[in-house]
Amino acid sequence: MPSALKHTLFIALPVLVIFAALPGVYQNHLLLFNFVIFLILAQGVNIIYGFTGYLPFGYVGFFGAGAYGFAVLVMHLHAPAIPAVLAAGLVGVVLGLLLTPLLRLSGAYFAIANLAASLAVLHLIANPALEQITRGPYGVSLSATFNPTYAYAAALVVLALTLGSVVFLKNSRSGLALQAVREDAVSASMAGVNVVRMRVIAWLASALVAGLAGGVYAWYVSVFYPDNVFSGEFSIFAIVFALFGGVASITGPIVGVVILYGIYNLIGFTTPQYFQLIYGLLIIGLVLFLPAGLVSLATRRGWHVP
């Protein structure tokens, strides 16, 4: 059996089936929805960081822009939700194209520039001068499209596309080329890899994923402010979850989200007073003992982790 099919059948499909079935047995649907959103975002981070080495601290910029892309289409063009979600993905891609020059930077410089870019987008959208278009800082209310059930289903579709993309990257020459670029761009170029094109493709794919996620998030929550959808915590959580599980793999970000976001909510529901302590210790422990993520526990022993 080809490994791509194996990964789809034994990793991606079970995740989708589980999250499709869970609303039937667990009533806190928004919690499940947030799990799906973070699965998408963590895989989005995986695409750009895991396969190219660019750490996107301002990843939330695409997410927020997607949410507002959705909102603008619904508010002004009275678009149905699904075309608006697609437009949200497009907004993410367009923003990604605008920010393509950032790829000239690397390491911490890229991370900081990306963070600054996301703040710039936030302040552009929250600017009172754009009130007629984005409602500026005053928030949007999208009661016309409010439908949590369909929004959850749409989030699952976006998750399926995202997982499909990661499975493709993991099992294709393109993914291999990207990893070669991440390890040594000069050598990869010498081997015939078009470094710039590969990086841009990964960057735009990552932006598309976040834009689509922002669109379905806007669809689900329907009332939000710029501060809600541009909250830096989306970036931080997505990055931490991806790193916790292990990047450049299909399972790493999934494991990271399920364990870390699960613990996050478990602590939040049971012992919120110890939240910072427990969560902080977990992350310190990860950085000190498992810098390559949980999957490195297996790879160190020579086990193959998809």
Partner 1 sequence: MLRVVVAALAGLTLTAQAYAADVPTEIKIGTLYASSGRFASISMPVYSSLKLWADLKNADGGVYVKAFDKKLPVKVVAYDDQSNTATAATLYNQLITQDKVDLLVADSGSVLTAPAVTIARDHKMFLFDQTGTGASFFSKDNPYIALMADPVSTIWPKPAADFVIHDGPALGIKKIAILYSTNEFTGTQANAFRKFIKDSGVPVEIVYDQGVPTETTNYTVIINNINNTHPDAVFTFGYAPNDIAFLRNVADVGVKFKMLFVIYAGLEKELLEKNVGDKGLEHVFTYVPPSDMEYPVNFGMNLPTYKAAWDKKYSDGKLEFGLNAVAGYTTGLVIEKALSVATSLDQMELRRAVFSLSGNLKTLCGPFALDETGGQIGELTPLGQLEPDGHGHLKFVSIYPHETATGKPVYPRP
Q: Does 172 bind partner 1 (CB under 8 A)?
A: no
265 is a contact residue toward partner 1 (CB under 8 A): yes
Which single residue is written with the structure tokens 């990552």? 206
- Please list, in sequence order, all residues whose beta carbon lies within 8 angstroms of the beta carbon of residue 164, skipping any fewer than 6 positions away: 8, 12
Instruction: Report in angstroms how near the CB of residue 31 gets to partner 1 at its nearest.
Output: 5
By beta-carbon proximity to partner 1, the closer residue of 168 and 275 is: 275
In contact, 256 and 243? CB cutoff 8 Å: yes
Is the C-alpha dihedral spanning 275, 276, 279, 281 positive or negative? negative
- How far CA 190 is from CA of 52, 90, 181, 195, in Å, comes to 17, 33, 11, 10
Stretch that binds partner 1, among 89-97, 160-168, 220-228, 298-306 (CB under 8 A): 220-228
Question: Candidates 86-94, 206-214, 265-273, 292-300 — which segment interacts with partner 1 by CB under 8 A?
Answer: 265-273
What are the E-state strand segments in the chain?
140-141, 223-224
Residue 219 binds to partner 1 (criterion: CB under 8 A): no
From 4, 94, 139, 189, residue interacting with partner 1 (rule: CB under 8 A): 139
Q: Select 97 or 236, whichever has its Cβ closest to partner 1.
A: 236
- Mention every residue, 6+ apart, whose C-beta is less than 8 A from residue 18: none
Per-residue contact flags (x/-) with partner 1 for residues 276 to 295, judged by CB under 8 A = x-------------------
Q: Which of 4, 31, 263, 297 binds partner 1 (CB under 8 A)?
A: 31
At how many degrees (to 10) do helices 148-171 and 195-221 cross? 160
Does position 194 interact with partner 1 (CB under 8 A)? The reply is no
| Closer residue to partner 1 in complex, CB, 175/215 | 215
Beta strand spans in 74-215 (E): 140-141
Q: Which is nearer to partner 1, 104 or 123 (CB)?
A: 123
Applying CB under 8 A, among 13, 17, 21, 30 the residue interacting with partner 1 is: 30
CB nearer to partner 1: pick between 109 and 269: 269
Q: Which of 12, 19, 34, 89 binds partner 1 (CB under 8 A)?
A: 34
Q: Which two tokens stand for residue 52?
A: 């190219």
- With 0-12 / 13-18 / 19 or more C-beta atoms within 10 angstroms meaning exposed / middle / buried, residue 23 is middle
**Which of 76, 109, 141, 262 lies at the binding interface for partner 1 (CB under 8 A)?**
141
Give me the residues paired with residue 141 across strands: 223
Residues 6+ apart with CB under 8 A from 15: 39, 159, 163, 254
Tell me whether residue 1 or residue 25 sits nearer to partner 1 (CB atom). 25
Sequence-ordered list of residues with C-beta below 8 angstroms from that of 34, at least 6 positions apart, any chain: 261
List interacting residues with partner 1 (CB under 8 A).
27-31, 34, 123, 126-129, 135-141, 143, 146, 148, 221-225, 227-228, 231, 233-234, 264-265, 268-269, 272-273, 275-276
